Structure 1
């Protein structure tokens, strides 16, 4: 949430609090890490919306989280290391009050030693052929594993994981051989040659991985992980940003990106998509989604490079390139399918992050508004504001005499609070939109004060599990007013909190003496509530018409550190004069879904992915491995072309928008792709059906009301 908020008064006293170091009687002045830890401790205690007690129990939770960050697969630490660190596991709360940073220093010493030990093991294990006829299995889920008790156990764990990765590569190479062997001049390699090639690929992968661990993931990087284990234990959205990441975050907030437009993170040794930048090449192409894993990167038609084990900054280097060139990503999608996605590199243009509309022709003329985020250029008085832009799109659609409007908030993670309040007011007379409660339990009701209603016709809002924060405020308000039908996931993300960025430099004037800027903390300071009284936290907004989603499983409620759901008294508001009968709309949609083959295939796919997720062990003998892979591929293949047979929607640009593009071939091409993605969108297709029902439901009400007035 990008909000302009007043700094809590308690935080203004923190700069003086740093002097509290002296009370512990240390003979030496605090170092950089001690200063950061003490500041973080005070900010969490004095400024967090709902601070947990920072005690020994809190410390132990931090230790568990941090150890998982350092060794997510439990392949480095020995059981004895955990025992050695145990006496310090209750010291972190003391460190946050100014004591020396002991746990980090000791764990840092141990992990560097263990990484060096394993770095000598994997090349030896990969120097000899594996026997893929031996019946054995490997467990990949770290939650099902314990730290190895001995070095021999650790070596065996590494042997199995390296064998599994080699077997994956070997089967890929054999598939390529099968496809290529009939081509003129093809050189058919033997199984032994392919096995050696597969091992070499795995070795290169882990060479890069260990190079990162030894040379790029330095003490400062690990300290950042350490502090974030602390802040994320307070709540998932309170984060520490070291100076370079703070700059990166601010650039993101400014919307200045270059490349394919995908924010990345490294997880379990793989590069995962965190989010797609609206308007970017990835967003326009439409196939790359949050939580997808990038397996390989190819420059045009050249040999793809396996980036498993890459650091994010290294992955970015190979994904970026010159404008207009093609980068091809091999991606494992959230639904389990693996596909190649070609993307044309381009400068990300901000105008495509803004609200955009179209008309869908069918039984009725339906207006469609796509809003990727609740943007507001706070630095430029003349900059774009999403509420103003949506108002303009509504005016254009009304001029086209549409029968209803669909507002698409799928994958919209939120943004400006002031804009969601203003935007809600476009669809209702004056009234409350959201309630906000601060740390002192004071509740503020944010209202639309404009008595006019820009659009009073049938309204539907599309959401999914990634619709968060401001999107949830908008959907909840329209639902509470009975103004719109909400269509989509069982419930939205469930982020009902607001954060503000605080620079730690503002609290410590002598930063130059300890190495320069200290970074910043993004702190949770408020909580949102619906006008009906319930929080959006954890629970999200439940859709009126529920459509089966792909297997995202990302909601706030999945995080054990997330703040709890609660309620406050409802605000005073008057429901819409033509309340939407969501029960009738839901029943009609459910009847359609019963015979909808596309959603049936999707639900089968979800069941297949969930079944695969329950698999705890994986075969290391080739015959069993191939059988497992064939079974899984068969379960997922049916969904690959599910949308291809979908009847295309008749969706068109408004004439005024086409005139705006003029002869700009780039914009015209991007617009064409934007429309193409939506022509075979099964969710939008059903939303249109629901809107047709809503129009049929609403028009008689409106006509009857008009007749009474006459």
Structure 2
């Protein structure tokens, strides 16, 4: 494991800064793990963050408020007196702890939280033992941002009563509807309203019991400390994170698309972790002892003690089951017939190629005699620790070549929901379509601006190109879309803007002896914002994102899911543009936008989506009724709008989508589970109204190119 002194790391990453030095004079015992982590994190934030805030009393108060809110977002756990007393003691002390003082704040807050949570557990049982009156006109507010902490026990208990009443009302109405639809069916036992009301409360009690069990079993002191550290780092900016060792490993696995595990797909159901399927050739499948429907009740590392999965979510269970290659994991399995057995498996390399890696397909339009290739890229993946591991830029180049060999008329790159990834790979990927030249500008905290460019002059593909994005296309996706847009190389299509993440992070491990490490860390890892990136045209994608050339209404347009909706996000700014030469093409953007708008005028689908999405967004910003008649009416209206969006979002006349023959990514797959997922993807493409519009735009570009080559129109000037 390679370790470097902290100061050397800072010199390498972001310029010259002060050395590690505690501002607290210590006496007494040496610092514990929590103190070590907080001080290391504090020094990283202060000395290396792109835009550090002063770690002072004001910063401390923001961390305090965020941690309290993260623990109790609905404001039904803590009392106002809890908040006031804890803030008086610790509101201005967290900055001192970050600088080396003994850690007391999070422990004190956690202690009060655990005590109040235990009280809520008792209240829940008592409240759900009594019938609810659903004729009363009252409502419940579940958004803590619109609430103050309850003034007294009575107010807090009433908030719990209303929350439990709302949860039970949802289930009660579902049971009433089920009775209505099944009435008269042979063998269906019709229950009274009172029986269904009681059943609804029992269902709610089951859900809440699991909720509290999860707190009791899974929400340990370390878990709360990790949340506390995340509050500290996120106050600097939303993408500076603290990751404990297991979370860091999971992050790396998701980025690379490979991990060492057993090859079983898991699902949570009825509070249990169930096996859904086993990958062909995986340890789970080869053992012959695991099958769909098995429940994993415990996990042990080799001969170590078993950890009970009661209250665990799927992601938490996965982190325990995965591990180092060749190590043993023991699963305690409960079979569908009730028998219990312990299964010992050796972890092997598992490749998550279906959900992680690039793949392509072709949309065939017989009426226009065109073929449009689509490349789906879920993330800009890279196996950073494996020189022979897969990289997104290399895989995309392979998919482009496949489509060229298939003689497609144009290509669509689908970056919807792509949250980003490797900066190196996005630069290389832009080069496939643009060739030599700058791609993105990166600026560090001392205002050094570097241009990241492509050195290779060759262009792999120079034909019609469209890039599909949405509000969840972030980071590297935005770099790619921005570069294609700035060069005028292709057309960007999607919702009003992308996510708006214009910052660059690097993972820095915390080491008890040396301060920092590049390898595995026993104290955790900080994903630290070190730089900000800018378009070659000078503007940042931070907050603003990339605004598509052709805008299509999105069902989530009114939802507050973008970077600009986070109050701790860094600001937008601009720098000087880079020197670059725009792409020359026969088509021009205004002409393509006009042609697209003409099609959209006769298509009411996107207008319906826009109107319904705006209506639903407003509905989310208010309280919920607890009167059954009002609830039914509101639910009916919401369902109508949501169902309408779903209905119009599927093409009536499906696209003819074919997979490339003999493509190992999508055809001749032995694993039935993977094969089913590929077929599902193929079907979703055929019904995709957004892809339909993108294909039309690419066809417009291809037609203009053909006309220009045949001498019917003159190629316009560089745009």
In 1, Cα distance between the equivalents of 2:364 and 2:514? Answer: 60
1:517 aligned residue (500, 512, 522): 522
1:371 aligned residue (356, 377, 387): 377
In 1, Cα distance between the equivalents of 2:251 and 2:123? Answer: 38
Within the alignment, does 1:534 sit opposite 2:539 as a pair? Answer: yes
Q: How do 1:522-601 and structure 2 match up within 5 A?
A: 522-551=527-556, 552-578=559-585, 580-601=587-608
In 1, Cα distance between the equivalents of 2:609 and 2:84? Answer: 47
Task: Note closer, same or farther for the CA distance 1:122–1:685 as it changes in structure 2 (3 Å cut).
Answer: same
Secondary structure of 1:480's partner?
A: helix
In 2, Cα distance between the equivalents of 1:502 and 1:542? Answer: 33
CA deviation after TM superposition for structure 1 residue 211, in Å = 2.1
User: What number of residue pairs does the alignment pair up?
Assistant: 637
1:616-641 Cα distance to aligned partner (Å, 9 max, x none): 23222222222222222233332332
* Residue number in structure 1 paired with 2:52: 51
1:424-477 Cα distance to aligned partner (Å, 9 max, x none): 112223111111112222121111111222222111111111111111111111
What is the TM-score normalised by the length of structure 2?
A: 0.81
In 1, Cα distance between the equivalents of 2:516 and 2:357? Answer: 42
CA deviation after TM superposition for structure 1 residue 388, in Å = 2.3
CA deviation after TM superposition for structure 1 residue 232, in Å = 0.2
Q: How do 1:90-489 and structure 2 match up within 5 A?
A: 90-256=92-258, 260=265, 312-313=313-314, 349-350=352-353, 353-362=356-365, 363=368, 364-489=370-495
Task: Note closer, same or farther for the CA distance 1:669–1:637 as it changes in structure 2 (3 Å cut).
Answer: closer
In 1, Cα distance between the equivalents of 2:516 and 2:429? Answer: 44
Q: How do 1:619-638 and structure 2 match up within 5 A?
A: 619-638=625-644
In 1, Cα distance between the equivalents of 2:380 and 2:651? Answer: 34
1:127-150 Cα distance to aligned partner (Å, 9 max, x none): 111222222222222222111111
* Residue number in structure 1 paired with 2:300: none
In 1, Cα distance between the equivalents of 2:265 and 2:35? Answer: 39
1:351-370 Cα distance to aligned partner (Å, 9 max, x none): 66332222222222222222
1:477-534 Cα distance to aligned partner (Å, 9 max, x none): 11111111111121111111111111111654799xxxx9311111111111111111
* Residue number in structure 1 paired with 2:327: none
Task: Note closer, same or farther for the CA distance 1:429–1:629 as it changes in structure 2 (3 Å cut).
Answer: closer
In 1, Cα distance between the equivalents of 2:312 and 2:76? Answer: 18
Secondary structure of 1:43's partner?
A: helix
Task: Note closer, same or farther for the CA distance 1:458–1:489 as it changes in structure 2 (3 Å cut).
Answer: same
Task: Note closer, same or farther for the CA distance 1:312–1:97 as it changes in structure 2 (3 Å cut).
Answer: same
1:501 aligned residue (488, 504, 507): 507
In 2, Cα distance between the equivalents of 1:453 and 1:314? Answer: 41
Point out 4+ residue stretches in structure 1 off by more than 6 angstroms.
10-19, 320-323, 705-708
Tell me, yes or no, if the aligned pair for 1:15 and 1:506 is still in contact at 8 Å.
Answer: no
In 2, Cα distance between the equivalents of 1:578 and 1:502? Answer: 44
Secondary structure of 2:22's partner?
A: helix
Task: Note closer, same or farther for the CA distance 1:465–1:412 as it changes in structure 2 (3 Å cut).
Answer: same
Tell me, yes or no, if the aligned pair for 2:506 and 2:530 is still in contact at 8 Å.
Answer: yes
Task: Note closer, same or farther for the CA distance 1:692–1:663 as it changes in structure 2 (3 Å cut).
Answer: closer
CA deviation after TM superposition for structure 1 residue 677, in Å = 1.1
What is the TM-score normalised by the length of structure 1?
A: 0.82
CA deviation after TM superposition for structure 1 residue 75, in Å = 0.7
Secondary structure of 1:26's partner?
A: coil
1:44-75 Cα distance to aligned partner (Å, 9 max, x none): 11111111111222111111111111111111
Secondary structure of 1:116's partner?
A: helix
Secondary structure of 1:198's partner?
A: helix
Secondary structure of 2:584's partner?
A: coil
In 2, Cα distance between the equivalents of 1:481 and 1:510? Answer: 40
In 1, Cα distance between the equivalents of 2:224 and 2:620? Answer: 30
Tell me, yes or no, if the aligned pair for 1:538 and 1:556 is still in contact at 8 Å.
Answer: yes
Tell me, yes or no, if the aligned pair for 2:533 and 2:541 is still in contact at 8 Å.
Answer: yes
Q: Extract unaligned runs of 5+ from structure 2.
A: 1-7, 273-278, 281-291, 295-309, 322-330, 337-349
2:694 aligned residue (687, 692, 703): 687
* Residue number in structure 1 paired with 2:328: none
Q: How do 1:610-649 and structure 2 match up within 5 A?
A: 610-614=617-621, 616-649=622-655
CA deviation after TM superposition for structure 1 residue 684, in Å = 0.3
1:647-675 Cα distance to aligned partner (Å, 9 max, x none): 11122223352898347473654433322
In 2, Cα distance between the equivalents of 1:166 and 1:113? Answer: 25
Task: Note closer, same or farther for the CA distance 1:116–1:371 as it changes in structure 2 (3 Å cut).
Answer: closer
In 1, Cα distance between the equivalents of 2:442 and 2:495? Answer: 25
* Residue number in structure 2 paired with 1:27: 28
Secondary structure of 1:99's partner?
A: coil
In 2, Cα distance between the equivalents of 1:172 and 1:133? Answer: 17
Tell me, yes or no, if the aligned pair for 1:14 and 1:42 is still in contact at 8 Å.
Answer: no
1:284-327 Cα distance to aligned partner (Å, 9 max, x none): xxxxxxxxxxxxxx969xxxxxxxx965358868xx9999x99x
More displaced 10-residue stretch of structure 1: 370-379 or 123-132: 370-379
Tell me, yes or no, if the aligned pair for 1:71 and 1:77 is still in contact at 8 Å.
Answer: yes
Q: RMSD value over aligned CA atoms?
A: 3.5
CA deviation after TM superposition for structure 1 residue 394, in Å = 2.3
Tell me, yes or no, if the aligned pair for 1:433 and 1:447 is still in contact at 8 Å.
Answer: yes
In 2, Cα distance between the equivalents of 1:707 and 1:164? Answer: 66
In 2, Cα distance between the equivalents of 1:509 and 1:44? Answer: 13
Task: Note closer, same or farther for the CA distance 1:483–1:703 as it changes in structure 2 (3 Å cut).
Answer: farther
* Residue number in structure 2 paired with 1:287: none
In 2, Cα distance between the equivalents of 1:238 and 1:660? Answer: 37
Secondary structure of 1:232's partner?
A: helix
CA deviation after TM superposition for structure 1 residue 249, in Å = 2.5
CA deviation after TM superposition for structure 1 residue 685, in Å = 0.2
Secondary structure of 2:511's partner?
A: helix
Within the alignment, does 1:60 sit opposite 2:65 as a pair? Answer: no
Secondary structure of 1:240's partner?
A: strand
In 2, Cα distance between the equivalents of 1:502 and 1:622? Answer: 53
